[in-house]
Amino acid sequence: METTFSIDKLVGHKAFQRGNPMTDRFKVKRFHHVEFWCLDATTTSIRFGVGLGLQRVAKSDLSTGNTAFTSYAMRSGDMVFVFTASNTAKIPEASPEAAEQHPLAAGFDADAPVAFCVKHGMAVRAVAVEVEDAQAAYETCVAGGGTGVTAPRKAVDPASGTTQVVAEVLLYQGGDVVLRLVSGSFEGPCLVGYEDVPDDQRADIGLLRIDHVVGNVPKLLEQVNHVAAMTGFHEFAEFTAEDVGTVDSGLNSIVLACDSEAVLLPINEPTHGTKRRSQIQTYLDHNNGPGVQHIALLATDAIAAVRALRARGAFDLMPRPSDAYYEELPGRIGGVLSEEQYRGVRELGLLVDRDDQGTLIQVFTKPLGDRPTIFLEIIQRVGCDRDANGCPVPQRPGCGGFGKGNFRELFKSIEDYERQLERP
Ligand code: TYF
Ligand code: FE
């Protein structure tokens, strides 16, 4: 077998030399969707729909013959969030019709989303990526040491005659998140078996696509080498506790990317021995193990998107940085942002950072549910409108970085937030 990338120690952000060895073991195109498991798909999908300006585009539920679970696909631009909950534990097996209707319904354990939510709270179950051939990708992942969760299933869309293959492997070792591999000619927003629903006319807030999906794990190198062995993804960036500077709670992080860098999977681990317990350890405790920490959503205009998000009132943002942060900002960032953008980021409490490629505008929500676990990030990659060949692209993946220059400010605000969760 070919040799796969493997690393045995972190060198830190500065010393790390980025390259693209083009080592993918199967062709990966883009993020396809992210599926949350929750206790009530109607309630949760409406809350996300209202708060993030997502339209309900497809459903698989009792009305479509799915007795196993209720699932709604919500879309803005190219980003799709799916919300799924158990229908009833009294029907242990999906009916044969349901199994035909939804590729994941056959043999579905109707208790699984409930048990998942008891363990993790509302959380990400599946990170779905579009691949060229899901059957081959599944076999490659398993041959590379991956744990199969759903062997490849082929489904035919009765309306269009197009087909789709879906397969799943475990993403984070010791966790309950799957990497869902999707391929085929089916062009619907989600999976075969979902029925399109009429346009609900809800206005979007300018969210364009999923930029990166971050996992928290106990042991970074083990996990990174595991994902690399399955997929062939390469290291795109790394950050160590030292890069973050003198903050109380630490983390190490490695960003994995596919050949095209359209799928970015950062992974964090806690560091120990700091004054405060690592925010990553807090996550692992409350999530009962590894899982998705945050999903970064790329906006056409982050300032407009965050203004709308605040007006919708369904998600809270982390506390804003100090005035001093904004006074130092033009000196740190330079003339990339317009006067109006500087005013906008200050008004809304957004963070800005830059790397050798471009400028990143970013902001973080508070945790999405009751537990101090999963949150969202809204970003815009400014000055990133050309690919490596000089062709126009909307916000080249990874360009502008991940906000390393904001880690101090951000982690201070996370620590302040965590202090509020402690009883006096
Ligand atoms: O995706 C990233 O790496 C950045 C930085 O708790 C980050 O968004 C890392 C850890 C964290 C919050 C943000
Ligand atoms: Fe991020």
Query: What is the DSSP annotation of 364-416?
Result: EBPPSSSSS--EEEEEEEET--B-TTS-B-SS-TTTT-S-GGGHHHHHHHHHH
Would you tell me how many other CB atoms lie within 10 Å of the CB of residue 389? 6
> Please, which pLDDT band fits residue 276 given cuts at 50, 70 and 90?
confident
Q: Is the CB of 268 under 6 A from ligand 1?
A: yes
For residue 396, pLDDT over 80 is answered with yes
How many alpha carbons lie under 13 Å from residue 309 in its C-beta half-sphere? 28
Contact 320, 365 (CB under 8 A): no
Asked whether 230 and 140 are in contact (CB, 8 A), the reply is yes
Determine if ligand 1 sits within 6 Å of the CB of residue 215.
no
Residues, the chain, total?
A: 424
Residue 362 Cα to ligand 2 middle (Å): 8
CATH architecture assigned to 28-196: Roll (3.10)
Q: Is pLDDT larger for residue 408 or for residue 83?
A: 83
Beta carbon of 214 within 6 Å of any ligand 1 atom: yes
Q: Is 160 helix (H, G, I), strand (E, B) or coil?
A: coil
Average pLDDT over residues 390-414: 91
pTM flag (> 0.90): yes
Segment 376-387 mean pLDDT? 95
3-state secondary structure 223-283: HHHHHHHHHCCEEEEEECHHHHCCCCCCEEEEEEECCCCCCEEEEEEECCCCCCCCHHHHH
282 in ligand 1 pocket by Cβ < 6 Å? no
The reply to whether ligand 1 has any atom less than 6 angstroms from the CB of 377 is yes
Q: Which residues does 209 contact at the CB level (< 8 Å), separation at least 6?
A: 30, 31, 77, 78, 79, 297, 298
Average pLDDT, the chain: 92
Answer yes or no: is pLDDT of 90 > 90.
no
Would the CATH topology of 28-196 be identical to that of 207-422? Answer: yes
Give 247: exposed, middle or buried? Use CB within 10 Å, 0-12, 13-18, 19+.
Answer: buried
CA distance readout (Å), 410 to 171, 228, 320, 351: 27, 29, 9, 9
pLDDT at 91 over 70: no
Among residues 359, 366, 365, which one has the least CA distance to residue 402?
359
**What residues does each domain of the chain span?**
28-196, 207-422
Residue 387 binned pLDDT confidence (cut-offs 50, 70, 90) = confident
Compute the distance between CA of residue 295 and CA of residue 390 in angstroms, rounded to an integer: 28
pLDDT in tens, 290-335: 999 999 999 999 999 999 999 999 999 999 999 999 999 999 998 8
- Report whether pLDDT(424) > 90: no
Atom 2 in ligand 1: which residue has the minimum CA distance? Answer: 402
Average pLDDT over residues 57-71: 91
Atom index in ligand 1 nearest the CA of residue 377 equals 8
Does domain 207-422 sit in CATH 3.90.79.10? no
Q: Which positions make up the binding site for Fe cation?
A: 212, 294, 377
Q: Is 185 exposed, middle or buried (0-12, 13-18, 19+ CB in 10 A)?
A: exposed
CA of 54 to the centre of ligand 1 (A): 24
The Cα–Cα gap between 105 and 48 comes to 24
What pLDDT score was predicted for residue 295?
98
Q: Which residue(s) pair with 156 in the sheet?
A: 163
